Copies of this chain bind each other. A is one copy, B any other.
Amino acid sequence: MVVLVRPRNPLNIGAAARAMSNFGARHLRLVNPYAVGFREARSAVGASALLTNAQEFDTVAQAVEDCSLVIGTTAVRDRDLQNPLRRLNDESGSAVRAALKSGRVALLFGSEKVGLTNEDFTHCHWLLNIPTHEQHISMNLGQAVAVCLFGLSRSVADNATPNDAEPAESGELEKITQGLYEALKISGYVKPGNDAVSEKKVRRLMLRLNLQAMDAKVLLGMVRQIVWKLRQAGKN
């Protein structure tokens, strides 16, 4: 599934949808699109079903809630990135195709001007970079979507045996993140005035764990019980 975060240009939204149909990707989601641009793209002559069925979300967290692998795209290679960075090649393509066998995969693209933010990145398991010429790293959005989908879809073989360990969905991880974060606040691990940093830290930690769905459920139960106890104690 392709997730466009804060896209503005209707032509780019349409181009992304067209590339998706070329490479067999079916679901388009938009986070906070520029309303006029989205309306124009949707009402354009020849707009595809894929485009008219595109879903809108307010936040990245909501858009990727049911996904088990979330990948952010970035033009930048050496920025101080907290996430693992992979190049678009056979290896990353295999990783994505493997993940598709057992869950949903979200491929995030940022706005035309500034791309994805560091906050967006905290929702991503890893980042994907298209190897480009060093002097011209910034790609057109529609072209970036086309190249990524081509690169990831190569040699599609969809009929392999499904993985028995189902990965946790992002919505579940977010609940654990929120619970653990609350426990850390109550217990004084999170220092006042440092809220944002630590919440991101916890979210990234959760993503790196590659939790299975079953384990996520167990962990969420544990965290909730601990939070409950900490709250109880605070009342006395």
Known: A22-B133, A187-B228, A189-B225. A208 touches B201 (CB 8 A): no
Residues of B within 8 A of A205 (CB): 215, 218-219
Known: A180-B222, A209-B210, A230-B229. A133 touches B188 (CB 8 A): no
A131 and B154 CA atoms in complex are apart in Å by 8
Copies of this protein in the assembly total: 2
Residues of B within 8 A of A188 (CB): 225, 229
Residues of B within 8 A of A30 (CB): none
Residues A158 and B131 in contact, CB atoms below 8 Å apart:
yes
Residues B22 and A136 in contact, CB atoms below 8 Å apart:
yes
A: which residues have CB within 8 A of B? 11, 15, 18-19, 21-24, 84-89, 91-92, 130-133, 135-140, 142-144, 146-147, 150-151, 153-155, 158-160, 163, 180, 183-184, 186-189, 201, 205, 208-212, 215, 218-219, 221-222, 225-226, 228-230, 233-234, 236
